[in-house]
Amino acid sequence: MPMLKLATRTAYQTLLDAAALQQADERAAIIYVETDQPDTVITRADFRREVRRYAAALKHLGVKPRDLIIVAHVQNLESIYLFWGAMLVGAIPSMFPTLTEKLDPQIYMRNMGELVRLSGVRAVLTTDDFAPTLGAAVDCPVYGSNHLRGLIPAEDVANFEPHAPAAEEIAFLQHSSGTTGLQKGVALSHQAVLNQIASYSDALALQADDVVVSWLPLYHDMGLIAGFLMPLIQGVPLVLMSPFDWVRRPSLLFRAIHAHKGTLCWLPNFAYNHCARRVRSRDIEGLSLASMRAFINCSEPVRHDSHQLFLARFASLGVCEEMLAVSYAMAENTFAVTQTPLGQSVRRDIVDGLALDEARRAVPATPDHPHARVMVSCGLPIPHTEVRVAAEDGTFLDERHVGELVIRSDCMLSGYYKRPDLDPFRDGWYFTGDMGYIADGEVYVIGRKKDLIINAGKNVYPQDIEAIINTVDGVHPGRAVVFGVPDEREGTELIAAVAEVDTDDPAEHKRIIQAIRQAVASQTTVTLNYVHLVGEKWLIKTSSGKISRAANRQKWLQERGG
């Protein structure tokens, strides 16, 4: 079958019949890369065989079409077989992280228990080590790897008949991150996912000789769609590695790109900084990244300084500005909402930061303007997706006016799974909760509406302050959070910052706090009211690994006695 594009979209009905894995040739489907281990090459035949085995095991357990199955697993080949095997049997799979040292165990178990209760989860599939612990916390069967492997008689595999879903049936759930959001399942139909992949493949000019390289976790839309489903369905080889391996040794990504001639790689903003600061020169000696068509930044907002840091650090490996692309994406739209053209430099909009914060307008400014702020474009909407900017009352705003980004498309969620109380649409539009503006048709994202701080009449976006704090010597990069604290006497919000540091030395704490205050004061028009330093693992993360501003604000207030 031809590659899924807009021109061939009508030839495909569901993810199962669209999968290029059905084709007869034996090209590699997945190349799994591990630290200090030989690469594992999985052909399409290997993948078909393993998925069928796991689907037969699930059917043997009594799993039926429309059952919700949670895959709370470490990221490895088995977790991928389980996800696709659940779809093959007609169940609705959803990827989750297993419990790691980065997640609070009490919050994880509480949210998982709520998910099982509210969503009617049929079973959770996890590791052998974690199965007993999780089984005691949830009210549904929990199966470890060895249990499943022992349930696959050869005759069951031979006689297995895959489910034949309708195009409008739910294919899988993506669970949005958040402090209370584990139970908020984004339900995506087969047709919505196919529409997304067709439109996004056109926006990328995806080619049969592309090679996707990814370390991204599969419980996040960036990893699940761009770093798993799209290449698998399109027949494009996928080079995959564990996020934990990548974090410990980020050069693993570059070694995989060099070895397998990677062309596409999606990254969150922090990954650009992590690679630039943590990759050692001796680990990338002799490597080339010249095969890459694009490193695609999917953060909101994208930071110009992160791109420049990455470019300066790896220009010697062949990285050039035209390789640094951007996409605005979210689970509710399956994945991509916008995409910058590949092979072109991303557009940068220099605006008056004071006007952006106070007048809510993106007024063009010169680079030497005293309040100049560089905004990075997320590109134009992908085909069949519309983006507008809405005011508080829902009316649409003109270009360069800041408001809430709203979207509508043919690849939107069907709804939130078993949550009829949550209607995601208003007059056919999805209100994203992201603040931004449009200029010359291109989308610029500023920050989350719910995290916005109103300080002395100024709109303060916490991620801007966090980015500054993360550059201060002594602060763990990526381990700072900023939030607003209501001040009833003054009728405004005060600004609090919490950052993780290594040291307990009071003198060093004093130096770091002073450095944080000076850095923020010198680069913004706001002053921090509170700066609190904490030790490792103090900050609370969501299930997708993001630092939760709301949860950390609550924890900080509780420790201060309310």
Please return the burial class of 358, using the count of CB atoms within 10 Å of its CB with bins 0-12, 13-18 and 19+: middle
* Domain count for the chain: 3
Question: For 169, phi and psi rounded to 5 degrees?
Answer: -70, 150
Encode the chain (562 residues) as per-residue pLDDT tens digits.
689 999 999 999 999 987 766 666 778 899 999 988 999 999 998 998 899 999 999 999 999 999 999 999 888 899 999 999 999 999 999 999 888 776 778 878 988 898 899 899 999 999 999 999 999 999 999 999 888 888 766 667 778 889 999 999 999 999 865 433 445 899 999 999 999 999 999 999 999 999 999 999 999 899 999 999 999 999 999 999 999 999 999 999 999 999 999 999 999 888 998 899 899 999 999 999 999 999 999 976 788 989 999 999 999 999 999 999 999 999 999 999 999 999 999 999 999 999 998 899 999 999 999 999 999 999 999 999 999 999 999 999 999 999 999 999 999 999 999 988 888 899 999 999 999 999 999 999 998 888 888 887 778 889 889 989 999 999 988 899 999 988 766 667 899 999 999 899 999 999 999 999 999 988 887 899 999 999 988 998 876 667 888 889 989 988 887 6
Its sign, for the CA torsion 144, 146, 147, 152, is positive
Quick one: three-class SS letters along 444-489? EEEEEHHHCEEECCEEECHHHHHHHHCCCCCEEEEEEEEEEEEECC
- Any idea what the CATH number is for the domain that residue 387 is in? 2.30.38.10
Q: Are residues 426 and 472 in the same domain?
A: no
Let me know the angle formed at the C-alpha of 174 by 46 and 292, rounded to the nearest 5 degrees: 60
Domain C-terminal end among 198, 226, 255: 198
- Any idea what the CATH number is for the domain that residue 498 is in? 3.30.300.30
Quickly count: other Cβ atoms within 10 Å of residue 281's Cβ. 9
Please return the burial class of 209, using the count of CB atoms within 10 Å of its CB with bins 0-12, 13-18 and 19+: exposed
Alpha helices by DSSP H, listed for 170-292, are 190-204, 221, 230-234, 243-248, 251-260, 269-278
> Comparing C-alpha atoms, which of 222, 217, 258, 228 is closest to residue 100?
217
Q: Are residues 484 and 426 in the same domain?
A: no
Domain C-terminal end among 161, 177, 198: 198
Q: Are residues 50 and 134 in the same domain?
A: yes
Given the structure tokens 């590791």, which residue do they identify?
127
- Any idea what the CATH number is for the domain that residue 135 is in? 3.40.50.980
| Residue 118 identity (one-letter amino acid) | L
What's the rounded Cα separation, in Å, for the pair 434 and 450? Answer: 8
Residue 62: inside a domain: yes
Domain C-terminal end among 198, 215, 241: 198
Residue range of the domain that includes 490: 453-559
Q: In 3-state terms, what secondary structure has residue 272? A: helix
What's the rounded Cα separation, in Å, for the pair 24 and 556? Answer: 57
